[in-house]
Amino acid sequence: MKLKALGFDSISVDKITDEALPNHNVLLKKEILIIENMTNLDKLVSKKFELNCIPLKIENSDGSPIRAFARVEK
């Protein structure tokens, strides 16, 4: 299975002071989406789940706020 996205519970995948954004560049070059500022990730540990990320359609943009939610398998 090909990795499509990485989610983080931090404000950025890079240091805020690093204007070069090395991690952003590596991930985006490999077409891996970056999802930042996630919460409640601890509730998904050791569980099988489906992650849904619904972005706003913003013309000529390289990012968007999203509504992220996980559907946990029982």
pLDDT band at 70 (very low <50, low <70, confident <90, very high): very high
Residue ranges of alpha helices (H) inside 7-67 are 22-29
63: helix, strand or coil: coil
17-53 per-position pLDDT tens digit: 999 999 999 999 999 999 999 999 999 999 999 999 9
C-beta of residue 67 within 8 angstroms of C-beta of residue 54: yes
**In residues, how long is the chain?**
74
Residue 1 has pLDDT above 90, yes or no: no
Mean of per-residue pLDDT scores for the chain: 94
- The beta-strand segments (E) located in 1-74 are 5-7, 33-35, 49-55, 66-72
